[in-house]
Every structure is written in C-alpha cells, then in structure tokens.
Amino acid sequence: MDQPFPQWTTPVVADAALRAGAAFAVVDERLPPVDESMKAWGRARTVTHFGSVDVFLEAIDEAERGDLLVIDNAGRTDEACIGDLIVAEAAAAGLAGIVCWGRHRDSADILRIGLPVFSTGTCPAGPREHRPAVASSVRIGSVHVTSGALVFADADGVVIVSPADVDAVLTEAIRIYEVERRQAEMVTSGRSLREQFRFADYLARRAKEPGYRFRAHLRLLGGEIEE
C-alpha cells in the first residue's frame, strides 16, 4: 500500500480493531523481526513454499508495490526458505516486507538490505528437496491468511485485519495513538495516569457499588481517555 502509517504499532491496531468491531486475528506463532525496529504493513500476497524459490519469484512478479509477502513453510525448523537474494528481489520490487512461518538465513545481509523480515528464526541450511504442491490454505501459525488481507507486523507480533474493515481500523488506530501519546506526555510532565483517570473517584464509587467496573468509569470520563 502506498500511504505510510508511521504511528501504528500492532497493539494499537489490535485495540483499534476491537473498538471498531472489525474482524481481525492475532498470530499465535512468535515471528520476531530480524531487527527489533522493523515494522511493516500491507496487503498479503500469500504463497506456500514447496522447497523451491521459483514460487517466491512468481509471487513477487504478481505482487503490487506495497504488498507484504506472506509465506507458509509449515513452521519448519530444519531449513531456511528465504535468504538475502529473495529479500533483495522483494525490496527491489517495492514490497513492504516479508512475513514467514518458517526460517530465514543471511541475517547480516538482510539487515543491510533493510526490508522488514519476520520469521520464526534462523537456519543456515536451505531446502533439500522440491516437495509436491498440495492444495491447502496459507497459514501463519494457526491463523488462516487470505491473499489481500491486511497484515501488520512489528516486534510485538503480527495482526491480520479483514480488507473490508481496514479504513475503520486505521481511523480508530490514529485516534488511539494520538490520545495515548498525549497521556504519556502528561505522565512525563507530572500528571499521573491515576490523576488523569480520576482513579480516587473510581475507588470511592467502587467501595459504594462493588459492581462498578473500571471500563464503565473510563467511558464516563469521555473520549479523551483510553482503556
């Protein structure tokens, strides 16, 4: 996707999707970025690995600039299915990054290239055989990913959002980010979250009404307070 969204993090996106009532999923598999500062988002260009890099070249050839290559290698730990050449090719084609349910190699070169790459870890060995293609859904961990789904990835994890809901999620994510940034700035300036949230008032009311919950209290405070 062409437009940048530098403010987002996957926690903000997940919170925004929940608030917007959007369909989303959080990948349960740990997929750390090659560098902790890396993050990427874009439409998923899904591909299943069968032991040969030609499937990646074909996927990159069919992808649009800003897409995110999402690779299903069944979480294998005995091989790396991508390395510096595929990462360089994806970067040259204008892709936003790569999310791989499997291993990568050539970490130093990937860092030099700078394209965000997320995988289950590293393995120096490449694929040993070409495996026959099997008709199956692309999965990342236990999450089914369809081509065109919106994928957000950073050091906290990977979130998949339905394409139909992305506008609502991004709008809500920007609002959450701006509110939380102001709250953090106020804490730094000496106004604690307890003061911002009128926590003493909440405790006093809860003492009188044991069923009174913090979420209800925050809602009474209005739109400038985030849960």
pLDDT in tens, the chain (227 residues): 444 555 679 999 999 999 999 999 999 989 999 999 999 999 999 999 988 889 999 999 999 999 999 999 999 999 999 999 999 999 999 999 999 999 999 999 999 999 999 999 999 999 887 776 654 568 999 999 988 899 999 999 999 999 889 889 988 888 888 888 888 899 999 999 999 999 999 999 999 998 999 988 888 886 444 44
Structural domain 10-169, CATH architecture: 3-Layer(bba) Sandwich (3.50)
Six token digits for residue 107: 């970490």
User: CA-to-CA distance for 76 and 101, rounded, in angstroms?
Assistant: 8
Give the number of residues written for the chain: 227
CB of 135 closer than 8 Å to CB of 151:
no
SS3 94: coil
The torsion angles phi and psi of 207, rounded to 5 degrees, stand at -65, -35
SS3 70: strand
Region(s) of the chain under CATH 3.50.30.40: 10-169
User: CA-to-CA distance for 113 and 35, rounded, in angstroms?
Assistant: 12
| Entry pTM | 0.85
